[in-house]
Chain A
Amino acid sequence: AQKITQTQPGMFVQEKEAVTLDCTYDTSDQSYGLFWYKQPSSGEMIFLIYQGSYDEQNATEGRYSLNFQKARKSANLVISASQLGDSAMYFCAMREGGTGGSYIPTFGRGTSLIVHP
């Protein structure tokens, strides 16, 4: 079974509008971390936002917010006021416990976002 599922291969949004990128995850751990990364066409992965499994408030970082619904195992990324520079691949990732107390990361397949002028 996939640990991270991103069901939207591609999304289109008009500049200045908001867009939601979906992510569901699968873990039996109680303690885990959820991340979103952006990968522009240049290829370098850029960290956007983090949500801990025990955090009660949804994380926000500037125009990015994470809609965390723990019971549904959902961690959707919301980008407000989209900009042309937001066009990129977006990856949802999770860190869950491995051996020896270390947390091991897993990435989803990604969603391609295109922002139209």
Chain B
Amino acid sequence: DAMVIQNPRYQVTQFGKPVTLSCSQTLNHNVMYWYQQKSSQAPKLLFHYYDKDFNNEADTPDNFQSRRPNTSFCFLDIRSPGLGDAAMYLCATSRVRTSYEQYFGPGTRLTVT
């Protein structure tokens, strides 16, 4: 059974056209994370939510925003995608911030044309 679900799996958007990626979870975890992973690189944390508390990483560009309307869903909004934003975007959850286990979704591959 899928626990962390990401939609769509593949997304193509045009340069400068806003795009939203979706993540949902059936684990009822408190924390949801968004990572950006470029080819052959480690995932890079963009931000995370602890319940409704939003925590942005210092080097995350303003172009990236997030929303968490409820426990199950979290969205990544890219306001004006550039070619450099093409990457795999991974959503992950953990029960609490000190939890050992972090569960990842399958990722959304974003292409910017």
- Are the chains A and B members of one assembly? no
Give chain A's interface residues, CB within 8 Å of chain B: none
Give chain B's interface residues, CB within 8 Å of chain A: none
